[in-house]
Amino acid sequence: MLKIEALEFSYPSVPASTMHFDLTVDVGEVLSLIGPSGSGKSTLLSLIAGFLPASGGRILVDDEPLHNLPVAERPVSIVFQQHNLFPHLDLYTNVALGIEPSLRLAPIQVEAVRGALARLGLEPMQRRKPGELSGGQRQRVALARALVRQRKILLLDEAFAALGPALRAELIELVKTLVAEHDMCALLVSHQPSDASIASARSAFICEGRVAAIAATAQLLAQSEPPQLRDYLGSG
Ligand code: ADP
Ligand code: MG
């Protein structure tokens, strides 16, 4: 289980606006984060990944603290909207880099790369380069790369935002399956409330650097409190 307790952060350039997060994600759960642009969703993911240093609070995974670990040692994989694949390397190599930057793979790691490519339906195109793929296929590669890392926490920051609704839904379903199969804890940031409905039994509304509401997704999307949630959803 991922537990975020009283996690505090403020950007040095805006010291007056301290963010403060409390949240838990169960094993096998994809928790969606929705909320207005600038509310702190990406900042929260960066704090978990260790790209930004929290000034207080704790992050625990299965009761082990990780907030003091360097980025590389955190059990975290993150997928962004921009896939961050190397354009000059083929898919197999891009995925292999997820486990071993030196690319000197042990046989078991080669198997893991093959397995992830097969699981995501990418095996037939493994020698293609990212430029020879569709946007949806590229995000599948980014997922495969996250998967081979076998880290407990999966963070998706508007990972599928550039894709159309049908493809987004397909990839979200895939994420749900993978997270359940691998006992991961996932946080999915999307600016589409409909994505939260597909992805998550529970969702959180992030507003002004806080978890302003957290509930069953259908309930949250129908809720009239806080008022910022109504403003964000554009109804009521
Ligand atoms: P979201 O992902 O929800 O759109 P962010 O986490 O990116 O929001 O940003 C939260 C707030 O922090 C916003 O007010 C944004 O302007 C501010 N912010 C983001 N990055 C920086 C930065 N590097 N320096 C100062 N302020 C930042
Ligand atoms: Mg963001």
Secondary structure (3-state) at 152: coil
The answer regarding whether domain 25-54+65-75+152-236 maps to CATH 3.40.50.300 reads yes
End-to-end CA distance of the chain: 35
How far is residue 171's CA from residue 179's CA, in Å, rounded to a whole number?
12
pLDDT computed for residue 235 by the predictor: 62
**Closest atom of ligand 1 relative to the 13 alpha carbon:** 25
Encoded tokens for 99? 């486990």
Average pLDDT, whole number, for the chain? Answer: 94
Q: Are 125 and 161 in contact (CB under 8 A)?
A: no
Burial class (CB in 10 A: 0-12, 13-18, 19+), 17: exposed
How far is residue 236's CA from residue 223's CA, in Å, rounded to a whole number?
10
pLDDT digits over 117-128, tens only?
A: 998 999 999 999
Q: What is the pTM of this model?
A: 0.94
How far is residue 163's CA from residue 150's CA, in Å, rounded to a whole number?
26
Of 14, 196, 160, 194, the C-alpha closest to 79 is 160
pLDDT digits over 167-216, tens only?
A: 999 999 999 999 999 999 999 999 899 999 999 999 999 999 999 999 99
To test the pocket of ligand 1, the residue of 14, 20, 34 to mutate (highest count of ligand atoms within 8 Å of its CB) is 14
The residue nearest atom 5 of ligand 1, judged by CA position, is 40
Which residue in this structure is represented by tokens 């690319």?
Answer: 103
pLDDT digits over 126-177, tens only?
A: 999 999 999 999 999 999 999 898 899 999 999 999 999 999 999 999 999 9
> How far, in Å, from the CA of 125 to the mean position of ligand 2?
31
Of 59, 52, 50, the C-alpha closest to 12 is 52
> How far, in Å, from the CA of 50 to the mean position of ligand 1?
15
- Output the ligand 1 site: residues, CB below 6 A: 11, 13-14, 35, 37-43
Of 193, 174, 200, the C-alpha closest to 235 is 193
To test the pocket of ligand 1, the residue of 13, 43, 78 to mutate (highest count of ligand atoms within 8 Å of its CB) is 43
DSSP 200: -
Which bound ligand lies closest to the C-alpha atom of 38? 1
Residues of the chain with CATH 3.40.50.300: 25-54+65-75+152-236
Reported confidence tier of residue 44, pLDDT bands at 50, 70, 90: very high
